[in-house]
């Protein structure tokens, strides 16, 4: 017999978990959320999305002042120096404010925070320490993901670090090697490059940002190279050794060739993430996982065990906080007797470098592979008045629309505030809008959003300002 009972128990208080818990409580369900950290928010708020964005923002400010960018606006700064302690202090405050905010929301919505690690002891029954808890309607697994590494590479968070260790380096490294040219590697590499490190990115594939539209990938490579990042594309890491004063790497061309040696003060391993289900004892109740360790669910996020659900990074799909949130809301609504739905065709992805890159829907490569006939509309930032005023003319908006129906199939943006601009595309695609629908929508002037309108007009070859 359980010591305590709830309607819904959520395991994990990251974006997917805490949002699921809040939504379930809003719907009148007695809800508990299990979290073993001392603070709520999971990886995202504590050592992921939020602190990295705080560092990106702070490093952009430093770069603008130190590299004379502000002088283009008539702002004379004089000699600029970096106070790394205050820099990290800004990040810690942002994290603290956000995690405390979730505590407030839990209290407001009467969500019980069960502190500790949960393991299954039966269907819809878990144990934390010596106490058992029962969920009458369902348990939602939202334990997220952990850092993935390379074979025979030991992450010590001192000289060979993960994204977590890269958030709190006690000094700016002279040389940094980033293994992995995806979102995390480019973002954290950009932070430390702006602060003065010489950064080299080693990527196994022959391009960075492999999941994005190839044109965005190529332009981003050009832009980041111009900023000072160095790239070793199409290279495989054979060995990483941590020494007293530096780390050494051996890399070879992925297609074969001579070995090259690199040295760095810090090596950042950013090769992806893996589902985190450690300690859950899924085998005790027979929850099935696939060969990658991801929990297998049906179309309604239920596992093969009735009443046990899973969302976010522990199931298939992009490992994105906002994807997890949408799933969390959907499952909470299902448990409350409503219908929950997530449109996986309109999940945006954003890279928070400078400039940002954002995308939603299909890439050109995917449309070609699927044999779909499409039209392309592009418009550059250089032709936008607000972008000129911001000294942010790098980039473009690209809209892909069905050649027959004009329905928007994908939107790809490289440029200032791309992560914000992509929201219009998400809304348009969610409601099945055509490129003409966006083109006919009045956009405020002068704004960057006008670039989206012009790209929509360009789908039919009638952009006004180019």
SS3 letters for 245-279? CCEEEEEEECCCCCCEEEEECEEEECCCEEECCCC
For 351, residues 6+ apart whose C-beta sits below 8 A from its C-beta are 183, 186, 187, 209, 212, 220, 357, 358
In degrees rounded to 5, what are phi and psi of residue 462? -130, 40
Q: Where are the alpha helices (DSSP H) in 336-417?
A: 364-370, 385-389
Q: SS3 for 275?
A: strand
Burial of 461 (0-12, 13-18, 19+ CB in 10 A): exposed
Q: SS3 for 191?
A: helix
H or E stretch including 183?
A: helix 183-194
Report whether 385 contacts 373 (CB < 8 A): no
Site of tokens 């010489």: 198
Q: Compute the distance between CA of residue 340 and CA of residue 113 in angstroms, rounded to an integer.
A: 24
Q: Compute the distance between CA of residue 258 and CA of residue 251 in angstroms, rounded to an integer.
A: 9
CA nearest to 88, candidates 195, 13, 184 = 195
Site of tokens 């073993």: 36
Report whether 235 contacts 203 (CB < 8 A): yes
Longest Cα–Cα distance in the chain: 72
For 446, residues 6+ apart whose C-beta sits below 8 A from its C-beta are 384, 385, 386, 389
Catalytic residue among 63, 88, 341, 445: 445
Residue 332's alpha-carbon distances to 44, 259, 300, in angstroms, are 21, 53, 11
Say whether 322 is catalytic. Answer: no
Tell me how far the alpha carbon of residue 308 is from its chain's centroid. 26
Residues acting as catalytic residues: 445
């Amino acid at each position: 017999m359980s010591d305590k009972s709830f309607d819904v128990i959520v395991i994990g208080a990251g974006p997917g978990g805490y949002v699921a818990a809040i939504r379930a409580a809003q719907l009148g369900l007695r809800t508990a959320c299990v979290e073993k950290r001392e603070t709520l928010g999971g990886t995202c708020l504590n050592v992921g999305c939020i602190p990295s964005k705080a560092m990106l923002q702070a490093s952009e400010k430093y770069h603008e002042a130190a590299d004379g960018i502000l002088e283009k606006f008539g702002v004379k700064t004089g000699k600029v120096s970096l106070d790394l302690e205050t820099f990290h202090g800004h990040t810690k405050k942002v994290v603290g404010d956000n995690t405390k905010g979730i505590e407030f929301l839990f209290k407001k919505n009467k969500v019980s925070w069960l502190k500790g690690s949960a393991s299954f002891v039966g269907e819809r029954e878990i144990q934390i320490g010596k106490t058992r808890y029962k969920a009458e309607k369902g348990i939602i697994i939202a334990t997220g993901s952990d850092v993935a590494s390379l074979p025979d590479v030991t992450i010590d968070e001192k000289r060979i670090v993960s994204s977590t260790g890269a958030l709190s380096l006690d000094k700016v490294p002279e040389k940094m090697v980033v293994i992995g040219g995806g979102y995390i590697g480019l973002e954290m590499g950009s932070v430390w490059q702006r602060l003065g490190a010489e950064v080299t990115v080693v990527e196994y594939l022959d391009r960075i940002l492999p999941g994005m539209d190839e044109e965005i990938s190529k332009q981003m490579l050009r832009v980041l190279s111009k900023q000072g990042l160095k790239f070793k594309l199409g290279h495989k890491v054979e060995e990483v050794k941590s020494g007293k004063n530096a780390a050494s790497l051996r890399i070879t061309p992925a297609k074969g060739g001579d070995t090259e040696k690199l040295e760095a003060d810090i090596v950042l391993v950013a090769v992806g993430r893996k589902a985190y289900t450690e300690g859950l004892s899924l085998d005790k109740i027979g929850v099935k996982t696939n060969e990658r360790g991801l929990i297998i669910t049906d179309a309604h996020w239920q596992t093969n065990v009735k009443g046990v659900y899973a969302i976010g990074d522990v199931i298939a799909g992009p490992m994105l906080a906002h994807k997890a949130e949408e799933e969390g809301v959907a499952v909470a609504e299902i448990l409350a007797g409503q219908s929950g739905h997530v449109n996986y065709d309109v999940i945006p992805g954003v890279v928070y470098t400078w400039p940002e890159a954002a995308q939603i829907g299909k890439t050109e490569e995917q449309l070609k592979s699927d044999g779909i006939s499409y039209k392309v509309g592009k418009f550059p930032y250089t032709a936008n008045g607000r972008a000129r005023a911001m000294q942010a003319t790098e980039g473009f908006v690209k809209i892909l629309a069905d050649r027959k129906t004009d329905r928007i199939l994908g939107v790809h943006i490289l440029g200032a505030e791309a992560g914000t601009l992509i929201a219009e595309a998400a809304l348009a695609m969610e409601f099945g809008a055509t490129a003409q629908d966006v083109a006919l929508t009045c956009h405020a002037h002068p704004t960057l959003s006008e670039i989206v309108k012009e790209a929509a007009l360009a789908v039919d070859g009638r952009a006004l300002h180019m």
